[in-house]
Amino acid sequence: MKVLMIAPPGAGKGTQGVVIAGHFGIPHIATGDLLRDHVARATPLGQQVQHLLDRGELVPDEIVLEMVREAMEQARGAGYVIDGIPRTMEQARRLYEIGLELDMTADVALHLQVEDAELVRRLSQRGAEQGRSDDEEDVVRRRLELYYEVTHPILEWYGERGILVTVDAMRPADQVGRHILTALEVMKQMTEGNRDLPRRPVDLSGLGAAFGTQG
């Protein structure tokens, strides 16, 4: 299974990425985690990007794409769940090229949908609990702004490629996780059984209320 996660900050990419990786037995590749690890270890790369992470700005494409290419090469044959990239249309195109080169293009682009007020609430809670410097209020505003400006528009492209699955991620994490795994299991059957059939985007965001009441 090869999954890309696309979602605004605070939507639960990290949490659900771990759930997906565990369920399918695939590596979880998170660009934000890889970059924060470099910063924590004060590597030359970490020192180069720290000010960008602190301000919620994007790190140059070359750096994140190289990181992901390396991680994808290591994951060869196993599949992946990638979280944090693509952030821009250019990254989406180049990631697709890397995927073609390695014969590892994504089966699913998983979009987690959450309203802004809830994102701000979650991020300020995480900021208080984990002290992540980019969860401070003005940086959160900048990260959300960037998401809507440059990341959100990519979704249409994945829709056209027929691999987009949108999930309502407003509910508690365990319910969202169950919903995602159900959707991905269905997609897995489809991609494995019908590789050459044209596919359509799947929008499950309207199912939120029904799933929520069933718990």
Interface region with ligand AMP, contact rule CB under 6 A, candidates 39-47, 70-78, 85-93, 178-186: 85-93
Q: Residue 142 CB, nearest distance to ligand AMP (Å)?
A: 9
The residue within the footprint of ligand AMP, chosen from 2, 28, 38, 143 (CB under 6 A), is 143
Q: Does 166 bind ligand AMP (CB under 6 A)?
A: no
Task: Give Cα 194 distance to the centre of its chain.
Answer: 25
Q: Does 45 bind ligand AMP (CB under 6 A)?
A: no
Q: Which amino acid is at 71?
A: A
Asked if 45 contacts 63 with a C-beta cutoff of 8 angstroms, the reply is yes
Q: Does 179 bind ligand AMP (CB under 6 A)?
A: no
Asked if 41 contacts 4 with a C-beta cutoff of 8 angstroms, the reply is no
- Residues belonging to the chain: 215
Interatomic CA distance for residues 1 and 82, integer angstroms: 11
Q: Does 87 bind ligand AMP (CB under 6 A)?
A: yes
DSSP H or E segment with residue 83: strand 80-83
Task: Give Cα 3 distance to the centre of its chain.
Answer: 9
Q: Residue 134 CB, nearest distance to ligand AMP (Å)?
A: 6
Q: Residue 53 CB, nearest distance to ligand AMP (Å)?
A: 4
Q: Residue 111 CB, nearest distance to ligand AMP (Å)?
A: 15
- Closest CB to ligand AMP among residues 2, 202: 2
Interatomic CA distance for residues 155 and 147, integer angstroms: 11
List the Cα angle 153/154/155 in 5-degree steps: 90
Per-residue contact flags (x/-) with ligand AMP for residues 7 to 36, judged by CB under 6 A? --x---------------------xx--x-
How many Cα neighbours within 13 Å face the side chain of 58? Answer: 19
The residue within the footprint of ligand AMP, chosen from 15, 50, 52, 126 (CB under 6 A), is 52
Query: Footprint of ligand AMP on this chain (CB under 6 A)?
Result: 9, 31-32, 35, 52-53, 56-59, 64, 84-85, 87, 91, 134, 143
